[in-house]
Amino acid sequence: MRPDPRLGPWGRLPAAWTASPRRRRLAFLVLLAPGALMAVAGAQVLVSPPLVAAGVAWLAAALAVRGASEPRFLALEAENSTPLQEETTP
């Protein structure tokens, strides 16, 4: 599989991971889950401030990855899609 240069670093991901918006959202949730777990576990009356900081940083990184990659995927999908043609009735 050749990477798609239009997608930047995300072009190297397997096509099965990025084939549809649903799969990309699932990948985003998988990337987001550890950070959310760390932030919630550390926030229990600030038991561990470094754990809260690590969780929040992880969440911010996941959001940054999503924010940087999704517009590229949407642009590529729009470029590859064919416009719908209206049906003509006789």
How high is the pLDDT of residue 39?
79
Would the pTM of this model clear 0.95, i.e. be above it?
Answer: no
Tens of pLDDT, residues 46-60: 677 888 888 888 888
H, E, C per residue of 11-51:
HHCCHHHHCCHHHHHHHHHHHHHHHHHHHHHHCHHHCCHHH
Say if residue 79's pLDDT is above 70: yes
Block residue for tokens 């992880």: 58
